């Protein structure tokens, strides 16, 4: 075959995927294919497919919002985009990620999505949403996370590298809607994947707004259309369609136990970020004043919505009174009246007493107190209650700023109780102590993904602590704090008896 014959053959293939005639395609291909090698042919194919995608029925244009009427259309768009994304270089990926970071670090954008999230979901608070969205944009790892491992010896050189899974379905929660979309978009695109978001219906508007912003920025940077997509009307049916579609290569669920269990039983590669019930242990060697501040700040962060937040305190009796005193100075209101405590319990627990009344999840302490007839001052951030170890507030994760305090005789008893009430979720735990032996004992026994020593819970997700940020903490499936490499396959490339120069 000579050059002209090859060009004509390529044009006939390309004409099947576009509305151009074979003659027009020949002219286009001839202009681009001077020497028709494999790379140039693939570039032409990718270009034509991009044009086809933007004109396909139901598809969003390159400058569109990434939202599709049906999950089937969204998956088809993400699948096509993934084919095109393979032709992008690592430098391209880095450019796209940098663009997303800069987008969400614009103060106006941060303020808008943080305000929208609070207004739409009725949960959390604006100031802490700003912090969470900012840290998601700043500290989510990009392509730099995909480190190549090299091993050389007499038999040659072996490289282990990270490669894209393909199309990822990401199910996001109403508690952290924008943070999760920012976080997962950066990590998943950095690994070379495209992503379909299935947001919680109660965070529909702000989730679609985030996806639209990402699509607009990526279009400005020359990225393939529809790297990040969603559906215009999120629903359980759409989520089920996402889970069951064979075109989706990986599922990532950030939410409660039910959705995590569903994706884990899908038969696909699944990453589950489930619930927690993080205990905070305080022993007699701790800096009590600092421990009190850290616990109250962590518990009240975004009105206790983060799954890492302190949910119960277990304190050695010798320092319990002083700890409670210091927590009150740090913004806690101690509820002592038995009638008020009973009213609170009836208000914030569900009818069976086995979990939270969702109407109060993520509400602030003053709002909850008002519902039981207490007008608290503005500085109150947490409702403090002394309870027994088997109280529902201790046993069940409430995700609201209500903090039960349990007294124990010694630190070993505190650690053992912490392990029990964490329920094996392996999510997060905190300990305030200067006894290295006891810190080590708790870390070994509780086996949580995050273990914060002498600090607030949010230090574990990169807010005031070292390490990268994530809002998908995969305790149930074991990946831990997810990043770009979590969303990539390990691939081995072997050169036999060569490139070993030692």
Residue 52: pLDDT above 50?
no
What tokens does 501 get? 């120069």
Distance CA 79, CA 99 (A): 22
Closest C-alpha to 401, from 414, 388, 382, 374: 382
Spell out the residues 6+ positions from residue 163 whose beta carbon is closer than 8 angstroms to its own.
Answer: 192, 488, 489, 490, 491
Q: Is residue 374 helix, strand or coil?
A: coil
Domain definitions of the chain by residue range = 3-55, 67-145+165-274+483-491, 279-466
- Residues 217-235: what's their mean pLDDT? 96
CATH superfamily label, 279-466: Aldehyde Dehydrogenase; Chain A, domain 2 (3.40.309.10)
The answer to whether residues 191 and 223 touch, using CB atoms and an 8 Å cutoff, is no
What is the per-residue pLDDT for 81?
97
Spell out the residues 6+ positions from residue 350 whose beta carbon is closer than 8 angstroms to its own.
Answer: 356, 357, 358
Spell out the residues 6+ positions from residue 375 whose beta carbon is closer than 8 angstroms to its own.
Answer: 369
What is the per-residue pLDDT for 434?
98
Closest C-alpha to 502, from 151, 200, 26: 151
- Residues 373-382: what's their mean pLDDT? 96
- Residues 1-10: what's their mean pLDDT? 51
Output the CA–CA distances (angstroms, integers) from residue 478 to 90, 128, 425, 474, in the order listed: 28, 28, 11, 6
> Matching CATH topology for 67-145+165-274+483-491 and 279-466?
no
Distance CA 49, CA 37 (A): 19
Q: Model confidence over 146-203: pLDDT tens digits?
A: 999 999 999 999 999 999 999 999 999 999 999 999 999 999 999 999 999 999 999 9
CA 217 to chain centre: 21
Q: Across the strands, what pairs with 231? A: 68
- Quote the pTM value: 0.85
- Name the class of domain 67-145+165-274+483-491: alpha beta
Mean confidence (pLDDT) of the chain = 89
The answer to whether residues 50 and 225 touch, using CB atoms and an 8 Å cutoff, is yes
Q: HSE on the CB side for 311, CA within 13 Å?
A: 30
């Amino acid at each position: 075959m000579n050059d002209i014959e090859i060009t004509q053959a390529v044009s006939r293939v390309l004409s099947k995927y576009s509305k151009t005639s074979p003659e027009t395609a020949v002219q286009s291909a001839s202009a681009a294919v001077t020497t028709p090698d494999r790379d140039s042919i693939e570039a032409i194919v990718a270009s034509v497919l991009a044009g086809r995608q933007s004109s396909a029925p139901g598809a969003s244009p390159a400058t569109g919002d990434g939202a599709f009427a049906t999950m089937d259309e969204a998956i088809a768009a993400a699948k096509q985009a993934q084919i095109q994304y393979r032709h992008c270089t690592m430098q391209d990926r880095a450019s796209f990620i940098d663009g997303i970071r800069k987008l969400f670090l614009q103060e106006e954008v941060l303020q808008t999505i943080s305000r929208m999230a609070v207004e739409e979901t009725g949960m959390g608070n604006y100031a802490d949403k700003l912090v969470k969205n900012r840290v998601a944009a700043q500290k989510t790892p990009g392509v730099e996370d995909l480190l190549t491992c090299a091993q050389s010896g007499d038999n040659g050189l072996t490289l282990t590298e990270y490669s894209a899974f393909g199309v990822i379905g990401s199910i996001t929660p109403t508690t952290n809607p924008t943070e999760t979309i920012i976080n997962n978009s950066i990590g998943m695109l950095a690994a070379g994947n495209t992503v379909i978001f299935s947001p919680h219906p109660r965070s529909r508007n702000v989730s679609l707004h985030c996806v639209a912003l990402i699509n607009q920025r990526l279009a400005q940077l020359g990225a393939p259309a529809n790297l990040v997509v969603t559906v215009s009307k999120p629903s359980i049916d759409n989520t089920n369609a996402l889970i069951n579609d064979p075109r989706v290569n990986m599922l990532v669920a950030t939410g409660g136990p039910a959705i995590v269990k569903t994706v884990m039983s899908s038969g696909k590669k699944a990453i589950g970020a489930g619930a927690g019930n993080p205990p905070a242990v305080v022993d007699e060697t701790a800096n009590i004043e600092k421990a009190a501040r850290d616990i109250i700040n962590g518990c009240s962060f975004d009105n206790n919505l983060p799954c890492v937040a302190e949910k119960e305190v277990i304190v050695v009796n010798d320092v319990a009174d002083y700890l409670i005193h210091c927590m009150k100075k740090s913004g806690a209101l101690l509820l002592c009246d038995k009638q008020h405590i009973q009213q609170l319990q009836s208000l914030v627990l569900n009818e069976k007493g086995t979990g939270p009344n969702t109407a109060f999840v993520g509400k602030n302490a003053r709002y909850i107190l008002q519902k039981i007839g207490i007008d608290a001052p503005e500085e109150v951030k947490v409702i403090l209650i002394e309870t027994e170890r088997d109280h529902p507030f201790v046993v069940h994760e409430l995700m609201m700023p209500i903090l039960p305090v349990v007294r124990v005789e010694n630190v070993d008893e505190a650690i053992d109780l912490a392990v029990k009430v964490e329920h094996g979720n392996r999510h997060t735990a905190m300990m305030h102590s200067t006894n290295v032996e006891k810190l080590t004992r708790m870390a070994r026994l509780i086996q949580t993904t995050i273990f914060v020593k002498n600090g607030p819970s949010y230090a574990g997700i990169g807010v005031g602590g070292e390490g990268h940020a994530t809002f998908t903490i995969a305790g149930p499936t074991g990946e831990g704090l997810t990043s770009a490499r979590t969303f990539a396959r390990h691939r081995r490339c072997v050169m036999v008896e060569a490139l070993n120069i030692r």
